[in-house]
Amino acid sequence: MHSRACNAKTGLEEKGSALQNIVPMPSAIPAPLAEKRLVLRILDLWRRFHNGDEMPLASALTPPQAGADVDPVYLIDICHIAGPRFTYIGQALQVPDWPGQSEALIAECPEDSVLGLTSRHWREIVDREVPVTRGGVGRNRGEAVLYRSILVPLADESGRISVIMGAANWRLVEEHSGTPIE
């Protein structure tokens, strides 16, 4: 007869010195889930570049750092002599038939676009010096949309806010009479 014993460390039955019936055990720690919300992914990115009490540097946190989220991202240079202007507009936020695009002043951005709808809140970020999220119902190219956006402050080497990074996504919604649309 062969003696069988349970190994105290593994809980597995041993036959002689060879382990028998090895069954993989599920991990007690669940695998991390990928965040689905763009605004939270951008906020997480901003926090990773945050250095204690110092704001992330505009020279360090650039659109390519957003990785797969680069298309719904834009940058606003708030220190430009002519006024706040876009320095980068991701592909998802490009406004067809608008000659401005990158390097255009915020004031020239079509209001009937997600880019115009979300970028107009840049002053609040400068005043509060913290990321701000916005969402709601608006219009994009004449169609009703439900949108979410985030604007995060970025600093120059002196610590002064000089750039705002924004990101936005949206989906079309059906209009019903009595539904308020911005």
Per-residue pLDDT, 63 = 93
Residue in the block written with tokens 């990773």: 48
Ramachandran category for residue 21: left, alpha or beta (phi over 0 → left; psi -120 to 50 → alpha):
left
Q: How far apart are the first and last CA of the chain?
A: 82
Q: Are 166 and 149 in contact (CB under 8 A)?
A: yes
Q: Report pTM.
A: 0.76
Per-residue pLDDT, 100 = 67
Provide the token pair at 97.
Answer: 């038939």
**DSSP state string for 29-78:** SPPPPPP--HHHHHHHHHHHH-BTTBPPBTTTS-GGGGGGG-TTEEEEET
Per-residue pLDDT band at 129 (split at 50, 70, 90): very high
Listed residue (126, 137, 114, 134) closest to 164, CA to CA: 126
Listed residue (117, 141, 148, 151) closest to 46, CA to CA: 151
CATH code for 38-172? Answer: 3.30.450.20
Bridge partner residues of 27 (DSSP): none
- The predicted-structure confidence for 5-58, as pLDDT tens digits, reads as follows 445 444 544 454 444 445 454 545 554 556 688 999 999 999 999 878 889 999
Per-residue pLDDT band at 96 (split at 50, 70, 90): confident
- Give the C-alpha separation, 48 to 144, whole Å: 34
The domain spans of the chain are 38-172
